[in-house]
Amino acid sequence: MNKLLMHPAAKPVVFVLCLLPFAWLFYGALTDGLGANPAEYLIRSTGDWTLRFICIVLAVTPLRVIAKANALARFRRMLGLFAYFYVVVHLLSYSWFDMGFEMADIAKDIAKRPFILVGFSAFVLLTPLAATSFNRAIKALGAKRWQALHKLVYGIAALGLLHFFWMRAGKNNFAEVFVYAGIIAVLLGWRVWNFARKKREGGQAPRPIAAAPRAPVSR
Partner 1 sequence: MLIHSRDDGFLHPRSSEITPKGVYEGRRDMLRWMAGGVAGAAMASWAARDALAQAAAPGKLAPLAGAKSAVPGAQTMEKLTDYKDATSYNNFYEFGTDKGDPVKNAGTLKTRPWTVEVEGLVKKPGKYGIEDLLKLSAQEERIYRLRCVEGWSMVIPWVGYSLSELIKKVEPQGNAKYVEFLTLADPKTMPFVGSRVLDWPYAEGLRMDEAMHPLTLLTFGMYGEVLPNQNGAPVRIVVPWKYGFKSAKSIVKIRFVEKEPGTAWNKAAANEYGFYSNVNPNVDHPRWSQATERRIGDGGGLFAKRAKTQMFNGYEAQVGQLYAGMDLKKNY
Q: Where on the chain is the footprint of partner 1 (CB under 8 A)?
A: 29, 32, 34-40, 42, 96-98, 100-102, 108-109, 112-113, 115, 170-173
Task: State the CB neighbour count (10 A cutoff) for residue 119.
Answer: 25
Nearer to partner 1 among residue 14 and residue 109 (C-beta): 109
Q: Are 38 and 32 in contact (CB under 8 A)?
A: yes
Nearer to partner 1 among residue 101 and residue 134 (C-beta): 101
Nearer to partner 1 among residue 181 and residue 210 (C-beta): 181
Q: How far is the CB of 178 from partner 1 (least distance, A)?
A: 12
Q: How far is the CB of 21 from partner 1 (least distance, A)?
A: 17
Nearest one of 161, 211, 132 to 55, comparing CA atoms: 161
Q: How far is the CB of 56 from partner 1 (least distance, A)?
A: 23
Nearer to partner 1 among residue 172 and residue 204 (C-beta): 172
Cβ-in-10-Å burial (0-12, 13-18, 19+) of 203 comes to exposed
Distance CA(176)–CA(25), nearest Å, equals 21
Cβ neighbours of residue 157 closer than 8 Å, sequence gap 6 or more: 54, 55, 58, 184, 188
Q: How far is the CB of 116 from partner 1 (least distance, A)?
A: 10
